[in-house]
Structure 1
Amino acid sequence: MSDCGCDKAKAELEEYLHNELCKEDAADVREHMANCVSCTEEHRVGLVLTEAVRRACKETAPEDLRTQVLASLRGMQSQH
């Protein structure tokens, strides 16, 4: 393993957050973040955003709102 540097760590951060890197690349990013405050902060922001999106995706719109939106979309489609 070797320190991959800020550019590589930040470029691969999204994949790292979602466990999509191979073991070696993930280890390089992890090693770099252990010694880099800037990349560690980027990682923390990414974790917060990922969790916020995950929570938001679990919520559903009320049925009456869904009905209104679909009716509005159908109305727009019929005009074109």
Structure 2
Amino acid sequence: MTDCGCDKARRDLEEYLRDEVCKTRHSDIAEHLENCPGCRDEALVARTLTDVVARACKETAPDELRARVLDRLRAAHTSH
């Protein structure tokens, strides 16, 4: 394995975090992240942001809030 460098690691970071890179590139990026605090921090931020967005997408609004929003949307639609 060889250290792929910051530019390559950052360019391929999103694909790496989603396991969408080949095994060789995955190993190279993993090695780089182990040895580069800046890229490791960037990967942590990206992973945390991805996890937070994924959790938020699974949440649903309370029934009362959903009903109020739908009522306002219907009212806005009929007034136009």
TM-score (norm 1): 0.80
The aligned counterpart of 1:23 is 23
The aligned counterpart of 1:34 is 34
The aligned counterpart of 2:13 is 13
Percent of aligned pairs with the same residue?
Answer: 52
Distance in 2, matches of 1:76 and 1:48, equals 37
Question: Aligned pair count?
Answer: 80
Q: Which sections of structure 1, spanning at least 5 residues, go unmatched? A: none
Q: Which sections of structure 2, spanning at least 5 residues, go unmatched? A: none
Q: Deviations over 1:26-75 (max 9, x none)?
A: 11211111211100111111222222223222321011111111222222
Distance 1:35-1:63 versus aligned 2 partners, 3 A rule? same
CA RMSD of aligned residues (A): 1.7
The aligned counterpart of 1:78 is 78
TM-score (norm 2): 0.80
Q: CA deviation at 1:24?
A: 1.8
